[in-house]
Structure 1
Amino acid sequence: MTDSACTPMHQAVESGDQAGLTRILDEGADPNEVCCGMTLLMHAIDVEGDTALRAGVTADSRSTVILLAYGAEPLAQPRPHLMGAVDLADHYGHDIAYRLLNRLIEAKSAGGRPQNKLRGWRRNRRD
């Protein structure tokens, strides 16, 4: 994907510019924007996963988290023959993104938000 074919938000995702991505989203941009057949969320997972795979490290999930916080749709798939966000996360072994996406999808199908299983632990913790 070349920079000239991308929108500013996709360029921010591609370059790992989370501050720029957040600024553009704060200005009211659509977190479900599609460029070159990929939603921003798909692009973020692809970049994070590919970067981690090449470097042999755990995938950074900052762009994915930002996009989900701004309402990116985890099941959006502009081109049915391409992998969706969950498939990309699974393909790259991007465990954090995979778990986040699945929790959001489960919560949406149940009509609510994900339950925080750590809430009681935090309340009872004595540090």
Structure 2
Amino acid sequence: MENTRTPAHQAVEMEDAETLARLLGAGADPDEVHEGMTLLTHAIDVEGDGALQSGQPLTVHTTAILLAFGADPELEDPAGRTPLTMAESYGHDIAIGSAAGLGEVDLPHGLGSSCGG
């Protein structure tokens, strides 16, 4: 099956924070919707599901990048899900805290400085 994801959604799927930051810095829309998911709901889903399946700690790099670039944590996707409700279902504290205005988003090492949430 052919990959029809946008470059930003592909970066989220691969948890490639560096490429995602570069795309957003070049003007990609942090609230882009593709195949029924915003970039932020996609990132939270990939990170949360990956942690559940692997038993490893939750990674937050792509979510942090998207929030730092202004992705809207309350923007509903076409199915009516918000990044915040998805984050709550996965216990994704960085997304929950940023949506609630509880602090700063720290970008992964080497990807820039903190940005207010």
Q: CA deviation at 1:3?
A: 6.6
Quick one: which amino acid aligns to residue 73 of structure 1?
D
Quick one: which amino acid aligns to residue 83 of structure 1?
R
Structure 1 moving runs of 4+ over 2 Å: none
Question: Which blocks of at least 5 consecutive residues in structure 2 are unaligned?
Answer: 103-115
Whole-angstrom distance in 1 between the partners of 2:34 and 2:89: 21
TM-score by length of 1: 0.74
8 Å contact from structure 1 (residues 22, 66) kept in 2 = yes
Show CA shifts across 1:4-59 (max 9, x none).
12100000000011111011111111111000111101100000000011111321
The 1:87–1:77 alpha-carbon spacing in structure 2 relative to 1, beyond 3 Å, is: same
Could you say which residue in structure 2 is the equivalent of 1:66? Answer: 65
8 Å contact from structure 2 (residues 64, 94) kept in 1 = no
> Are 1:52 and 2:51 counterparts?
yes
Which protein has greater RCO, CA pairs closer than 8 Å, 6+ apart? 2
Aligned pair count reads 104
Question: CA RMSD, aligned part only?
Answer: 1.8
Which structure shows the bigger proportion of residues in helix conformation? 1
Which has the larger Rg?
Answer: 1
> Are 1:18 and 2:17 counterparts?
yes
TM-score by length of 2: 0.80
